Structure 1
């Protein structure tokens, strides 16, 4: 049956009191009640024969010959003010020749897409497509896990603004230093650029000028002075957990390795008295052989308790099952002990330093020990005289062994200087 028509200025109280007319004798069904609003044309409330109330907009929609009614929402699920605003918005779309149903479907799809493209989702896809298998893959993932995901991971990439990136970088700078902030920026920039290749609608909020250091500052030349080496070694004696950390840190200097090269040291890579780092995880993509000197052998130690395998990661917190990875937390603990030592002796805090500075320090110590420059470079894994067609990973082993032994001797002299002939060495920069 047709709806009964009334026109009034709708109010929440009036809508609450609306009831469907009673069924007339002989009628198949009670008529529906239609109460039109006097404020917004075509807007009103429809009440069914069972008392259900719905906000409706009655007008001629694009593509339809006659006027029709479409629901705006159930009374109770949407309030009167919002229903009126929605009716006004629909009327505006209709005046522009747009069908509100089509517009809302487009918005719904956009919202679904928006929810599926959070920063976390993009980073997950980027890691799977681009990061996994890279030599630095673990560092990239750690940067995302420690610094990016906790801050903007749940945000849609379409909502990100330049100010969001700047705020994140400022927080990282305050927490972990400007160099780390710039590393994170570089990783996120690559991830967002990767996303733009597959997504026409996404534009990266990262722009030039966001870096927290200058290019000259990023080209580090920091090496540790003798007193700083002694402080670090003394602080390592005070660290109880993780138990492998002191040995790991010392390996970075004594073997002149990069952070992950030592962290992933595995017994499967050892051939008698040689440690062969495979090219798959070395920077120049070539195997790098390090003679295992007595000093390095001492760091390797024995099979860890609880290890069920016949091979294991040398520096591990999981009984050799996985390589050491808690770099940031352990480094902060190490720095805390160093500061404590220097404060107790009335010395100024130690200048900011990074684990990679130990590799550079080892190279400097070799120079002080009068090691031939070419042999010292080979100990660092640098190819001398260009890349050969055939690379002999076992060349210059004797020279390299003597160089690493000279490095260990120089370190021992620094840690245990003759009491009557102590010459303080200050931090210097490599040429």
Structure 2
């Protein structure tokens, strides 16, 4: 019969690197018999710990019971106490009285690709801080980064993958399920890539697509039920340029839905309306900060603007009303305007809120007996605003400057005038036209009254 004692544990050799487990299954000490799988793990640093090898749902698992109390680093168990603890644990496991012993993060990483409840983003929640992410169940992209990028392939670009998924993918499709109803579809990917190209350029859109294709191919090789939504030819640079603008009736339906939509953050309706009235990209508006506001002017700093140049937007009265009050619970005089975290972070949960908004728009149109609204994305509001500027008689150069576009040629090099007042007039005209579109009946009555007075 195998023996074990304090002296035997003390004499176990220290490995040159890593660690080694010495098993003592069935060994006895002072009338106590060690269960199957009982052993001592010795590390290269000289630490000796008692362990119990067993299985969790068929998977091998080596659970640490505690350090041997003769360790210079400190210990908690004698050999006999370790055997007693291991015996009790083995019986609890056998009789089903023991919960899954794996650490929380180990359970999430190992069980995260279970089809039920698996989402695309998981812990890549843009509204979560690092502590929150540790508590969230991992999604497909989390598993890819943790298992493949960091462990299997040990990619130097692992952090870049993680950053791209968190900044550009999670806000759009992170909360979509991988399987079942409402799962990620090709159209979701296409819309997301269009938004990324509009806001970050075609190079970043192509890079994001490459990262996603790699992640989905990796997951498809592990799960036969997963269908990769990315197919050959899904994106060709220059061929996916959107031309969609919202018609007048669509703008009215949008505003009506924004005033009635439920299950969205309180800031969301104001945020969406601001996209049209300031003709900004969604991430620019989502990160609007109190420090960027100076009276009636909003300056988007160069470090977060696409052209790398400060962009000043004179806010119309209608746009100023959307800023709202200081968020409840915000600290000091610094906060994000559109926020779900008391001003600590800017709004980022685009996809879920947009789906709820689409449902509200569909209801508005269904109640009126009209066809569903054709597909649209938030960036279409920027394009719509530019079109309305032309409709309002705004000179093309002024309109382009309002959108932050750089005027090319000799004028772009030598004309350093800020055109601030001209831009102010443009945004006022835009707000006036939007108001007329939203309230056509009132405009008709006003014109009729003027004719009577004349």
TM-score range, shorter chain: 0.5 to 0.7
Matched position secondary structure for 1:275: strand
Q: Is the 8 A contact 1:248 1:263 kept in 2?
A: yes
CA–CA distance in 2 between the matches of 1:143 and 1:123? Answer: 22
Q: CA deviation at 1:247?
A: 0.4
Who is 1:85 aligned against?
A: none
Q: Is the 8 A contact 1:258 1:356 kept in 2?
A: yes
Q: CA deviation at 1:370?
A: 0.2
Q: Is the 8 A contact 1:172 1:181 kept in 2?
A: no
Matched position secondary structure for 2:185: helix
User: For the structure 1 residues 420 and 256, does the alpha-carbon distance in structure 2 shift closer, same or farther, using more than 3 Å as the test?
Assistant: closer
Q: CA deviation at 1:265?
A: 0.3
What is the CA RMSD across the aligned residues, in angstroms? 4.3
Who is 1:128 aligned against?
A: 159
Who is 2:277 aligned against?
A: 254
Confirm whether residue 221 of structure 1 aligns to residue 243 of structure 2.
Answer: yes
Equivalent of residue 327 in structure 1, options 350, 358, 361: 350
Task: State the structure with bigger RCO (CA 8 A, min sep 6), 1 or 2.
Answer: 1
Report the TM-score when normalising by structure 2: 0.54
Q: Deviations over 1:48-71 (max 9, x none)?
A: xxxxxxxxxxxxxxxxxxxxxxxx
Matched position secondary structure for 1:310: coil
User: For the structure 1 residues 345 and 418, does the alpha-carbon distance in structure 2 shift closer, same or farther, using more than 3 Å as the test?
Assistant: closer
CA–CA distance in 2 between the matches of 1:231 and 1:406? Answer: 21
Confirm whether residue 399 of structure 1 aligns to residue 422 of structure 2.
Answer: yes
Equivalent of residue 393 in structure 2, options 361, 367, 370: 370
Q: Is the 8 A contact 2:291 2:334 kept in 1?
A: yes
Q: CA deviation at 1:296?
A: 1.2
Q: CA deviation at 1:301?
A: 1.4
Who is 2:360 aligned against?
A: 337
Larger radius of gyration: 1
User: For the structure 1 residues 171 and 334, does the alpha-carbon distance in structure 2 shift closer, same or farther, using more than 3 Å as the test?
Assistant: closer
User: For the structure 1 residues 401 and 181, does the alpha-carbon distance in structure 2 shift closer, same or farther, using more than 3 Å as the test?
Assistant: closer
Q: Is the 8 A contact 2:298 2:314 kept in 1?
A: yes
Map 1:118-197 → 2, pairs under 5 A = 119-121=144-146, 126=157, 128-129=159-160, 132=163, 138-142=167-171, 145-146=174-175, 151=178, 172-173=184-185, 176=188, 178-180=190-192, 186-190=207-211
Equivalent of residue 239 in structure 1, options 258, 261, 267: 261
Q: Is the 8 A contact 2:172 2:351 kept in 1?
A: no
Who is 2:293 aligned against?
A: 270
Q: CA deviation at 1:142?
A: 3.7
CA–CA distance in 2 between the matches of 1:228 and 1:144? Answer: 24
Q: Is the 8 A contact 1:179 1:218 kept in 2?
A: no
Confirm whether residue 302 of structure 1 aligns to residue 325 of structure 2.
Answer: yes
Confirm whether residue 293 of structure 1 aligns to residue 305 of structure 2.
Answer: no
* Structure 1 gaps, min length 5: 1-116, 153-166, 195-205, 423-431
CA–CA distance in 1 between the matches of 2:429 and 2:187? Answer: 38
Q: CA deviation at 1:138?
A: 1.6
Matched position secondary structure for 1:300: coil
Report the TM-score when normalising by structure 1: 0.56
